[in-house]
């Protein structure tokens, strides 16, 4: 039986929904990762065609296929690296659990908030996966990519900042900001005074001050 206090009840519902949402997120990754892969693949093959041959989707992984040649005992080939987009995508099950735990006026509105919120979070997954690819090209393969693209100076610092931002900040902050923006009424009922009024109440008495001369 859920507790009567609305805050406790909401938190318990979130904890119950989280494992369900994470399981669905993991097993359905091949579906929701497709638009992320499509955007990343199009972005890099269009902007760095001399360096990136393709970005392939293999299950829950992206494979960066470069145009850099490599030689080994097995013969010559091209250099490729794996990218794990799920690292930047735990914002999706977090947002889903929060949305499913919060009340809504109708089921249609809750479904609308869920779908629109998840779609709005996909660009942040694209950000994280894209900057991981740039990190590999600028740092991991810096000596090999130097003849093709100049990653020196401020470009390397920007790539490092973008990678850290997409890995440490966006996955946790973006779903909370989006959920709060769509559930202001619920938060106001859950915690009165959470949103301060920007304008004074018309029925409140005026603040004392100096009398006008």
Q: What is the pLDDT of residues 174-207, one digit of tens each?
A: 999 999 999 888 888 776 665 555 445 545 555 5
210: in domain: no
Residues 133, 134, 139, 142: what is their CA dihedral angle, to the nearest 10 degrees?
Answer: 100
DSSP-assigned beta bridge partners for residue 62: 57, 83
**How long, in residues, is the chain?**
213
Q: What is the pLDDT of residues 121-160, one digit of tens each?
A: 999 999 999 999 999 999 988 788 888 888 888 999 999 9
Phi and psi angles of residue 72, each rounded to the nearest 5 degrees, phi first = -150, -175
Distances from the Cα of 103 to the Cαs of 6, 59, 180, in angstroms? Answer: 11, 35, 13
111: in domain: yes
205: in domain: no
Residue 209, SS3 per DSSP? coil
Cα–Cα distance, 201 to 203 (Å, whole number)? 5
For residue 126 the two structure tokens come to: 């694209």
Contact 143, 79 (CB under 8 A): no
Query: What integer is the mean pLDDT of 63-84?
Result: 79
Q: What is the pLDDT of residues 41-60, one digit of tens each?
A: 999 999 999 899 999 999 99
Structural domain count, the chain: 1
212: in domain: no
39: in domain: yes
For residue 169 the two structure tokens come to: 């900040």
Residue 1, SS3 per DSSP? coil
Q: Model pTM?
A: 0.84
1: in domain: no
Give the domain range for residue 131.
6-48+86-190
180: in domain: yes
How many other β-carbons are positioned within 10 Å of the β-carbon of residue 25?
A: 20
């Amino acid at each position: 039986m859920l507790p009567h206090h609305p805050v406790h009840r909401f938190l318990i519902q979130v904890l119950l929904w989280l494992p369900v949402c994470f399981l669905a997120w993991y097993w359905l990754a091949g579906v929701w990762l497709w638009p992320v892969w499509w955007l990343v693949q199009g972005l890099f093959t269009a902007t760095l065609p001399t360096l990136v041959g393709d970005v392939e989707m293999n299950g829950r992984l992206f494979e960066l296929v470069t145009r850099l040649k490599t030689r080994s005992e097995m013969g010559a080939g091209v250099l490729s690296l794996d990218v794990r987009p799920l690292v930047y995508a735990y914002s999706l099950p977090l947002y889903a659990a929060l949305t499913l735990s919060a009340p809504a006026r109708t089921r249609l509105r809750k479904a609308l908030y869920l779908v629109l919120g998840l779609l709005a979070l996909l660009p942040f997954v694209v950000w994280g996966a894209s900057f991981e690819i740039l990190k590999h090209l600028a740092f991991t393969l810096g000596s090999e990519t130097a003849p093709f693209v100049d990653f020196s100076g401020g470009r390397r610092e920007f790539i490092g900042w973008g990678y850290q931002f997409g890995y440490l900040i966006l996955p946790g902050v973006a779903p909370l900001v989006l959920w709060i923006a769509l559930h202001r009424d619920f938060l106001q009922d859950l915690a009165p005074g959470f949103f301060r009024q920007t304008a004074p109440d018309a029925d409140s008495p005026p603040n004392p001050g100096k009398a006008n001369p």
